[in-house]
Copies of this chain bind each other. A is one copy, B any other.
Amino acid sequence: MADDQLSRVFAALADPTRRDMVARLAVGDATVGELADPYDVSVQAVSKHIRVLSDAGLVSKSKDAQRRPCHLEAEVFDLMTKWIERYRQQAQERYERLDAVLAEMRGDEQPTHPGNREQGAAS
């Protein structure tokens, strides 16, 4: 895996167990032990999962005696959403442009606006 944050965030969420933990942290903070409870893997394995989430910046840990309450850092989601939206939108615009070209080829365009050419549609 690459070491940039976006890669780490995507990689962290590629595991269903970790996504499940994020889901549970969305309803409220929880300690490592509490998070480990529902799964039949060792606490150490869960601790590792949390470390991955933490390295990705998705989760922060505080201290309460021996406990390590985990807190979801939801702002990191924006990093992904921005990346996704950028290319989703770009692709969508391209389809719309393509549709416009196809419509023009079919002669579908409304002749009410004679100057309304598609800008750069064929580039």
Query: What separation, in Å, do the CA atoms of A10 and B84 have in the docked complex?
Result: 11
Cβ of A64 within 8 Å of any chain B Cβ, yes or no, is no
**A16-24, A30-38, A40-48, A102-110 - the one binding chain B:** A16-24
Contacting residues of chain A (70-87) with chain B, CB-CB under 8 angstroms = 72, 74, 77, 80-81, 83-85, 87
**Known interface pairs A2-B14, A77-B87; 8 further A-B residue pairs with C-beta atoms within 8 A, sorted by A's residue number:** A2-B15, A4-B16, A7-B16, A8-B14, A11-B14, A26-B87, A27-B90, A81-B85
Please indicate the chain B residues that have their CB under 8 angstroms from the CB of A90 in the complex: 26-27
From B26, B87, B94, contact of A91 by CB (8 A): B26
Task: Classify chain A: how many residues form its interface, as a range.
Answer: 20 to 34
Cβ of A6 within 8 Å of any chain B Cβ, yes or no, is yes
Cβ of A65 within 8 Å of any chain B Cβ, yes or no, is no
With contact pairs A10-B11, A11-B11, A94-B27 given, residues A84 and B87 touching in the complex (Cβ less than 8 Å): no
